[in-house]
Chain A
Amino acid sequence: MSSDAGSIPAASIFFVNKMRPQTLHRVAAAALAVSFAVLARAPSAGGQAKQQATIVIDPGHGGLDVGAKGKFGRLEKDITLAISFKLKALIEQNLAYRVVLTRDKDIDVSLENRAAVANNNGAALFLSIHVNGSFRKNARGSESYFLSLNATDDETRKLAYFENSSTSLQGRIAGESKDDVSMILWDMAQAAYIKQSSRLAEEIQTELNRALGIENRGIKQADFKVLRGVACPAVLVEAAFISNPQEEEKLVSEDFQSQVAQAVYNGLASFLKSGISK
C-alpha cells in the first residue's frame, strides 16, 4: 500500500501529527471502508421500501480450497456448507432477517470477497462457519473466535478507539475521490466492531457449550484474514475437529450439524435480543 499523503481526509487531522504517513493512509482507508458500510445500510434506515436487515453466513473454504481433512476423507468445505444451510433455514424461519451466503455451492471464493459480501449487503452480522484441524491427536471441541488485532497495527488500534462510533467516524471524513475508494482493501473495518464481536462470540460459545456438553470452553481470538475487513459484528465458529476421527464421524451426521446450527442460532438470537450496538 502506498503512503500517498494526498489521500488523507481532512477530517482525521486531529491525530494527523502523531502518525506516520503510511499509518495515516491506512487509517483513512479503514475509516472510509467503515463509512461506506454505514452508507450502504442507510437506505433501509431511510425507509423508502423498507429493506430487510441482512445476516451473512460464510461457509468456510470451497472449490480447490478443501480446508482441513479428516482421516476418513471428509472435507471441511463440505461440512461448513451443510451447517450453513441449516443455520440459514433457522434464521429465516424465526427472525425477520434476510440471509445471504458467501457461497451456496462448492466454489472458490477469496477471503476478501467473503468480507465484501457482508459489506456490500450492509450486513448486520457476519458468521463464518468452519471446522477445526490440528496436528494434535487429542484436539476436540467447539470454539468461537473473534478477531484479534495484531498489536503491530498501530493504526488498527487507533481505529478501535472509536469502538463502533462509525457514524461519528463518517461525520469526520470529508469527501474523497472514488479512485481511492476502489483501492480500499477493507483491511481493518472489523477493528471498529471488536467489542460487539466479542459479545457475539460469547453468546454463541455459551450455547455451544450447553448444547454439546463441552467443559466450559472460553472464546478465543486470532488474526483471521476473513474477519479483518468485515464492517459489522463478526464471529468465526469452529464446529468441531475434523482431524479427530471421533469428531469427524459426528461432523457428518445430520443430527450433530443441526445441533451446531441450533446453538449458533440461539447465540445470535440472544445477541440480537439484547441489541446489536451494546
Chain B
Amino acid sequence: MADSKKTLAAVLFGLLVVLVVIFLVTSGRERIRKTANPAASAAASAPSDERPTKKATLFFPRDDDGLLVAEDRDIPAGASVDRDAVMVLTELIKGSSGSLVAAFPPETKVDDLFITKDGTAYVDFSSDLADKHPSGTDAETSTVFSVVNTLTFNFRSIKKVFILIDGRERETLAGHLSLERAILPNYSLNVKR
C-alpha cells in the first residue's frame, strides 16, 4: 500500500520535472530565428556588414482572392522582441517583393509597439493608416489580418493584437471592422500550405 503510494508519488514527481523542463525550454522562445549572419561570421566575404539579421515570415493578401500568402524576409535584428516586431511591421507596410498586395497606405508608420504579459501586442500606427485608408470591408480585413496574423505567427509572446491609431483607441479603421478590443489571428484567411 505504502509502496504503491510511493511509486505513484515518484511517477508524479517525474512528470512534474518533465513538464517544468518543457516549460522552461519552450517559454519565451520566438519563432523568429537569429540567423548567425553568414556574411558576418565569414568576415572575409563581407567585412563591412556585421549586423545580424533574423528571418521573418510576412503575410500579404494575394490579388485574386485576398487570401494571405507567406513571404520570408531577412530583417535586421533588434534589441528586443518589441523592436523586432516593429521591424516586421515596417517590412509589411513596404509591401511584397513579389506580386502580392500591400494592405496599407504607403505613408503608414508604426509609432510604437508594446507587448503586455497576457500576450496582447498594442500597436500604435500613425493616423495615415485610418485617414488614407481606402475603406471597404475587404480592404480593412486585409489590413487588420495581415498585421495580426503576421505578428502572432512570428512572435510567440504575441497572442492577440490591439490596434491603436495615433495613440488612441479607435472604433474602426474606416467604418467596418471593430477595433475596440484585441484581435486574435484568423488563419482561415491564410492560403493553405
Interface residues of B in 60-93 (CB under 8 A from A): 61-64, 66
A-B contact count (CB 8 A): 101
Whether B177 and A134, one on each chain, are in contact in the complex, defined by CB atoms closer than 8 angstroms, is: no
Whether B175 and A65, one on each chain, are in contact in the complex, defined by CB atoms closer than 8 angstroms, is: yes
Interface check B102, CB cutoff 8 A: yes
Q: Separation in Å of the A207 CB from the closest CB of chain B? A: 19
Interface residues of A in 114-159 (CB under 8 A from B): 130-139, 143, 145, 150-153
A151 to B186, CA, bound (A): 10
Q: Which stretch (A2-10, A169-177, A222-230) binds chain B?
A: A222-230
B21-44 interface mask toward A, CB cutoff 8 Å, 1 = contact, 0 = none?
A: 000000000000000000000000
Interface check A102, CB cutoff 8 A: no
Interface size counted on chain A using CB atoms at 8 A = 36
Would A138 and B177 be within 8 Å (CB), given that A130-B137, A241-B138 are in contact? no
Interface check A242, CB cutoff 8 A: yes
Whether A134 and B142, one on each chain, are in contact in the complex, defined by CB atoms closer than 8 angstroms, is: yes
Would A222 and B177 be within 8 Å (CB), given that A135-B101, A242-B136 are in contact? yes
Whether B183 and A69, one on each chain, are in contact in the complex, defined by CB atoms closer than 8 angstroms, is: no
A61 to B175, CA, bound (A): 7
A130 to B178, CA, bound (A): 16
Whether A238 and B137, one on each chain, are in contact in the complex, defined by CB atoms closer than 8 angstroms, is: yes
Whether B102 and A150, one on each chain, are in contact in the complex, defined by CB atoms closer than 8 angstroms, is: no
Q: Separation in Å of the A47 CB from the closest CB of chain B? A: 38
Measuring CB to CB, which residues of chain A are less than 8 angstroms from any residue of chain B? 60-61, 65-69, 76, 111, 130-139, 143, 145, 150-153, 222-226, 228, 236, 238, 241-243
A-B contact list, 29 entries, CB within 8 Å: A67-B136, A67-B174, A67-B175, A68-B134, A68-B136, A76-B136, A111-B171, A111-B172, A130-B176, A132-B137, A133-B135, A133-B138, A133-B139, A134-B66, A134-B139, A135-B138, A136-B64, A136-B66, A136-B101, A138-B63, A150-B178, A152-B182, A222-B137, A222-B177, A223-B178, A224-B177, A242-B136, A243-B134, A243-B136
